[in-house]
Amino acid sequence: QVQLVESGGGVVQPGTSLRLSCAASGFSLSSYGMHWVRQAPGQGLEWVASISYDGGQKFYADSVKGRFTVSKDTNTLYLHMDGQRREDTAMYYCVRDLSLATAWPGYWGQGTLVTVSS
């Protein structure tokens, strides 16, 4: 059974760094593309970053490029966030591709909330 559990959210000050984690179980992270998607309070969904199954390709939204880094190890997906801004306040979701042969974000974690505030 696919399970994704995010952690690492909290209240942080502008300009600081934070690392989110997503613990994956029920499948091998080395076989699937993974994504981070966020949702600001009361707003719509925003795709943030993706990493290929082998970690060789990484893609970022323009709004986070140069500040956020996506990575993964055997069982955990990460999102390292530098230079936090108030507009980064959001629920952050970890998402797995639907299947080995497709790139559809299909399985979602429950999210971890990041609040950027002084």
Partner 1 sequence: AIQVTQSPSSLSASVGDTVTFSCRASRGIRNDLAWYQQQPGKAPKLLIFGASYLQNGVPPRFSGSGSGTDFFLTISSLQPEDFAAYYCLQTYSYPHTFGQGTRLEIK
The residues that touch partner 1, with contacts defined as CB under 8 A, are 35, 37, 44-47, 50, 59-62, 93, 98, 102-111
Q: Which residue lies nearer to partner 1 by CB, 36 or 78? A: 36
Q: How many residues does the chain have?
A: 118
Inter-residue contact 84 to 64 (CB < 8 Å): no
Least Å distance between CB 60 and partner 1?
Answer: 7
Least Å distance between CB 44 and partner 1?
Answer: 4
Least Å distance between CB 31 and partner 1?
Answer: 18
